[in-house]
């Protein structure tokens, strides 16, 4: 087995994958009480995100690079699922019909560039531009849909998506930069921030639903109490009216 190619990159990839796995466990705990479709799509994308992290760790441990052969494909699929989840969350799920053919075409193109044409650099640049565009559009769409959300989670998620999209535009050039390791770490931090923001968004939505249910229960309780008081107060009047009506009706012999 070859020696670890870059211990720094391996440490960054391991920490990022570990944090992402912990967030996935949190998602599974939140999923039974939050059946929204966009959360299920996000969980699917997050699972691919963890798979990409595991593939990076394996590649670095075997002496390879930080961009394994199937890395661009998994990264594009994860970004596409995140984008679909944001569209669904923003109430634009009808636009998903044109997203899936675009994702299929992009995946086939990346596979052709990396495997058939033997052009991994072109595949990395293509995946980078495609993924960053999806992150930027997703962040912008979520930020524009502020009227549909409350709390801090959606703002954090939109900001993390925008920052990750902007930061990753020159990702293929990071190995040649002096601060390349720092850029990789910062990119991973934005990815984990996305996961934390989604957890915050789900928790805030669950709290809002709980408060709404409590308000409804309180309203029903007060309505029942008011009806009981009204019935007790109107009972003498009802009895007097019934007796007076009965006296006015002539009895038949």
For residue range 111-126, what is the model confidence (pLDDT) as tens digits?
666 665 555 677 778 8
220-232 CB burial, b ≥16 within 10 A, e <16: eeeeeeeeeeeee
Averaged confidence pLDDT in the chain: 79
Question: Is 67 contained in some domain?
Answer: yes
Question: Is 229 contained in some domain?
Answer: no
Nearest-angstrom CA–CA distance, 82 and 69 = 22
**Per-residue pLDDT, 3:** 43
**Per-residue pLDDT, 116:** 56
Neighbours of 187 (CB within 10 A): 17
Nearest-angstrom CA–CA distance, 145 and 89 = 9
- List, for the chain, all residue ranges whose pLDDT scores fall below the cut of 70: 1-5, 93, 95, 110-120, 146-149, 208-253
Question: Is 218 contained in some domain?
Answer: no
Q: How many domains in the chain?
A: 1
Nearest-angstrom CA–CA distance, 158 and 11 = 27
CATH number for the domain that contains residue 148: 1.20.1070
Structural domain including 124 reads 7-211
């Amino acid at each position: 087995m070859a020696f670890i190619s870059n211990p720094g990159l391996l440490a960054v990839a391991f920490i990022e994958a570990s944090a992402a796995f912990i967030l996935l466990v949190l998602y599974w705990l939140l999923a039974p009480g939050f059946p929204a479709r966009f959360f299920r799509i996000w969980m699917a994308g997050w699972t691919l995100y963890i798979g990409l992290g595991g593939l990076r760790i394996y590649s670095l441990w075997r002496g390879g690079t930080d961009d394994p052969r199937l890395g661009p494909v998994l990264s594009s699929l994860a970004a596409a699922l995140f984008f679909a989840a944001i569209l669904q969350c923003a109430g634009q799920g009808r636009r998903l019909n044109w997203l899936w053919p675009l994702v299929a075409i992009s995946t086939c193109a990346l596979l052709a560039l990396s495997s058939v044409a033997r052009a991994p650099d072109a595949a990395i640049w293509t995946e980078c531009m495609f993924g960053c565009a999806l992150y930027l559009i997703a962040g912008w769409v979520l930020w524009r849909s502020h009227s549909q959300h409350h709390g801090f989670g959606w703002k954090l998620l939109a900001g993390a998506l925008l920052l990750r999209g902007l930061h990753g535009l020159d990702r293929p050039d990071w190995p040649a930069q002096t601060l390349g390791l720092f850029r990789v770490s910062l990119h991973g931090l934005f990815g984990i921030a996305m996961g934390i923001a989604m957890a915050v968004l789900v928790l805030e939505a669950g709290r809002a639903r709980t408060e709404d249910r409590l308000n409804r229960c309180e309203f029903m309780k007060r309505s029942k109490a008011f009806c009981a008081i009204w019935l007790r107060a109107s009972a003498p009047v009802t009895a007097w009216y019934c007796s007076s009506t009965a006296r006015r009706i002539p009895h038949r012999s």
